Each structure stands twice: as C-alpha cells, then as structure tokens.
Amino acid sequence: MNRQDNNNRDNGASAFRDSDLQDIQGDGVEFYDPAQEQKKREERRRKKQALLKKRDEELRDLHRKLAVAGSIAAVAAVIAAGAAFAVTHGKNGHDSTEAAEAVTETAAAETAAQAQEAAATEASTEESAQSGAIVFKETSDTAQIPTAPANEERQKQMAQQAASSASSGTSQTQSTETEQSASQEESAEAATEAPGTGTSDDGNKVVGGDYVDSLSAIMVNADDDTIVAERNPKEKIVPASMTKVMTILTACEHLTKDDMDKTYTITQDITDKAYINDASNVGYMPGDAATVRDMLYGTILESGADAAMGLAEYVAGSQDAFVQMMNDKLDELGLSDSAHFTNCIGLYDENHYCTVYDMAVIMKAAMDNECAREVLGTHTWTTQPMTEYPEGRTISNWFLRRIEDRDTKGTVVGAKTGFVTQSGNCAVSYEKADNGTNYIVCTANAQGNWRCIRDHVALYEQYVR
C-alpha cells in the first residue's frame, strides 16, 4: 500500500501545484525547514549566552581569585617548610642554599600545576554555562550503592551465560521493544519477578530494607545537581523506551498551545513499523487522525511507538529530521560525547545508547519543561475516538500507578519505563520528597518490571533525608 501523505492527496483531489503552495504560504502557514530550524536554534543559543554572560564573568573572576589565593597559600607553605628543612638539615651555608633552591623549584612547579588546574576548571565551567549543559557533581557524600548476595549471584549467572554463549558461538539478537503497559498489568507482584530477585533474606537488605538489582543506577538531588548515590553511572546502556522522554522534550520545545488540538493522520508506514518490531502502541490504524495532545500522552503513558512516530513526523516532517533534533538537544545538554539516538521510540540499535547519568540529565530538562512535565506526571488519559476504539482508549502510566502506594518518603511525580532484551527493565523517575527536595532516579538492567520499581523504592527509602 502506497503511503498517503497528510495534505489530502486522495479521493480524486487535484494535484498539489506550486501556486497552491504560494497561496498557503501567503496565508501565513509555515512549513518545517531544517535550515530555518537550525537558525532558530542558533539564535536561542546566542540569547542564552548573552543572558549568562554576566554570571560567567563573575564566576571566572571568582575562580581566578580562588586560584591566586590557593597558589599564594601553597607557595608560602612550601617555602616555610623548605626554610625549616634548610635550617634543620643543612650542614653548612652551601648545603642550606642548595636546599632552599630545591624548595623554590618545587614550589614553582606546584604553583604552575595549580594554575593549570584552575584554568582547566574555569574553561570547563565556562563551556558548560555557555552551552546550557546540565552537570551533576559527585561530592564527598556521594554514596556507592552497595551490593548484596543476590547481586553477586546474578553476576555469577551472567558470567556463566557469557561463557556458555562464547563456547557455543551463539548470542542473543532479539530486539523486541515491547514492555508492559498498565492495560497489561499482572495480577500479582510475583508474576514478574525473575528467579532469585524476590528474596527477603536479611543478607540482601542492604538498601532501604531491600537491595538494588539494576546493574546501573544513579540518584541525583535535582535542586543542587549533586549525585546522591550511584552504581556504574557512566557505563553505556541501552535506553529502550526511556528514549521517549527525549522524544516528548524535543517535541514540546517545538510545539505551542495552538498545536495541541491539531491532528496528524497516522500512516501505513507508522503502523507497519510498530507491528514489524512488535512495539507497544496506542492502537492507531492507518487513516486515524490523532491529536498532538493524544500523541504526547500516548508516547509516555502507553509507550506507544505509533504515537511517538506520528508526533515526530508532525513536528519535523520526517522521523529522520526529528532524530537529528533529538541529537541536537543532546549536544545542547552536553551529552553528545556519551549519548546518541537513532530513532524516537527506543528500538535497539548499536548506535542508540546513553548512560543512566545522561538519562537523569534528560529527565531534569524534561521536568523543567511545563509541557513535558505535565505529560510525564499524568497517571491516566483517555484519547479521542480511534478506529479500533470508537469511544477513545484510556491509557495509564503503570510505573506511577504501581509506585504510588509504596513508601518513598515523598511522591513520584514523573516517570518513564523501558524494556528491550538488551536493556533489561529500566526506568527514570522524578520525586518530590516530603522534605521539599526534588530527586531523580534512573536505573537500567533489572530483572523484571516489579524488580525495577523496587529498585527505585529502595533508593528513595535509603537516601532521601
């Protein structure tokens, strides 16, 4: 079936002429132009740099003053120590002079090293401020998430599986994107527990009365950008449908309130791609007119690949153009060295990757965006009528619904899950703690839906103060 575009070139309509395009443009209708969009992004970046310029100058001055003060103090301390050494250990004036000269050379070298370090810090800070990057910082209080016997047992099993695969020359190649949605909830928590992950042995109660199964995890104080706890935060992961946090962030930054009730006709190409990849979907059929608002909620709550692809094409004209916009946003956030996306729905691809640190940064940026924050924090939503759902379909954010009755010392106000074979179960969540502090948790590669949720609960329980 040939793809039908969304300009009504069907039902015997006459061909679209250049004069028609001129008439539409004359009416003020704008078309997506990649070159023009790039100019707009550059203009926004220039404006941001101008607003930050004064703060940057003040910050640089502070760094210089601190560096000078530190260098002077270091030189004074070294010279004083050298003088004492020369007086105490010098056998004669000649030896004392040589000792003093040696101390002076050492002091000069240390001063130069400190100056270089201060300059590097200043340059890094300036670059981050100018680019709009979000930087999470480790502190002396940053905790390393402890391991439990269950973690060690899993590592042994993984090593055995790897050895077995290597000896047999086989490997896992499945790339299914499907994940559980709220409409597919299990009847009991135990239904999704992998063997060995549900134990209640006291030896496994090392984090919040439980343990963290995920191979990579990070918890961040979103108010001061400090890392509270971590486990392999910079290790490359497969983000699966957590990718869709960036999808709606990118879309929201290019949408207005006037766009929300406009529609986009779902194409055969979109439904075919979702079906072929066994991807989760909202249930659109070719020809369904989906509102932009429904596609936003469908992308997150039902993790709908059909909604995400329709949204991407509405915003950018094509999925490829939209993915480029997503990668541009990664660059703006300072993540382009460790993250890269090849699609807007989270399908596995060896060039589609990030870290839990990166995804926490993306989540913070999304929660700072009013449109994205509203979507990520919605528990249920009912769509407009569709071919398969004449009265609309009610969809849910199952992570929010399942964690809401757990004790996390606060309220989780935004979340997105993900799963492909290569990623295990993963999720990113944002909590407003009872003490008023905002936190972000991102985990990857847990064994089961509920185990992933329990990891988030354990981290909030352990580290929220």
User: In the predicted model, is pLDDT for residue 322 greater than 80?
Assistant: yes
3-class secondary structure per residue, the chain: CCCCCCCCCCCCCCCCCHHHHHHHHHCCCCCCCHHHHHHHHHHHHHHHHHHHHHHHHHHHHHHHHHHHHHHHHHHHHHHHHHHHHHHHHCCCHHHHHHHHHHHHHHHHHHHHHHHHHHHHHHHHHHHHHHHCCCCCECCCCCEECCCCHHHHHHHHHHHHHHHHHHHHCCCCCCCCCCCCCHHHCCCCHHHHCCCCCCCCCHHHCCECCECCCCCEEEEEECCCCEEEEEECCCCCECCHHHHHHHHHHHHHCCCCHHHCCCEEECCHHHHHHHHHCCCCCCCCCCCCEEEHHHHHHHHHHCCCHHHHHHHHHHHHCCHHHHHHHHHHHHHHCCCCCCCECCCCCCCCCCCCEECHHHHHHHHHHHHCCHHHHHHHCCCEEECCCCCCCCCCCEEECHHHHHHCCCCCCEEEEEEEEEEECCCEEEEEEEEEECCCCEEEEEEEEECCHHHHHHHHHHHHHHHCC
pLDDT category of residue 166 using cuts at 50, 70 and 90: confident
More confidently predicted of 290 and 33: 290
pLDDT at residue 62, rounded to an integer: 54
* Residue range 94-140, pLDDT digits in tens: 554 555 455 456 555 655 555 565 455 445 445 554 457 999 999 99
* Residue range 235-254, pLDDT digits in tens: 999 999 999 999 999 999 99
User: In the predicted model, is pLDDT for residue 12 greater than 50?
Assistant: no
> What's the pTM value of the predicted model, to 2 decimals?
0.71
pLDDT category of residue 5 using cuts at 50, 70 and 90: very low
User: In the predicted model, is pLDDT for residue 89 greater than 60?
Assistant: no
User: In the predicted model, is pLDDT for residue 400 greater than 80?
Assistant: yes
pLDDT at residue 101, rounded to an integer: 56
**Percentage with pLDDT > 70 across the chain:** 65
pLDDT category of residue 142 using cuts at 50, 70 and 90: very high
pLDDT at residue 180, rounded to an integer: 43
* Residue range 287-306, pLDDT digits in tens: 999 999 999 999 999 999 99
pLDDT at residue 42, rounded to an integer: 72
pLDDT at residue 167, rounded to an integer: 77
pLDDT category of residue 70 using cuts at 50, 70 and 90: low
pLDDT at residue 165, rounded to an integer: 78
pLDDT category of residue 152 using cuts at 50, 70 and 90: very high
User: In the predicted model, is pLDDT for residue 197 greater than 90?
Assistant: no
User: In the predicted model, is pLDDT for residue 414 greater than 60?
Assistant: yes
- Please tell me the least confidently modeled range out of 38-52, 148-162, 179-193, 352-366: 179-193
**Percentage with pLDDT > 90 across the chain:** 60
User: In the predicted model, is pLDDT for residue 67 greater than 70?
Assistant: no
User: In the predicted model, is pLDDT for residue 54 greater than 60?
Assistant: no
pLDDT at residue 186, rounded to an integer: 35
| For residues 447-460, average pLDDT | 95
- Please tell me the least confidently modeled range out of 103-107, 227-231, 416-420, 423-427: 103-107
**Would you list the domain boundaries of the chain?**
34-131, 202-463
pLDDT category of residue 440 using cuts at 50, 70 and 90: very high
Topology at the third CATH level for domain 202-463: Beta-lactamase (3.40.710)
pLDDT category of residue 163 using cuts at 50, 70 and 90: confident
User: In the predicted model, is pLDDT for residue 69 greater than 70?
Assistant: no
- Please tell me the least confidently modeled range out of 163-167, 355-359, 388-392: 163-167
* Residue range 251-269, pLDDT digits in tens: 999 999 999 999 999 999 9
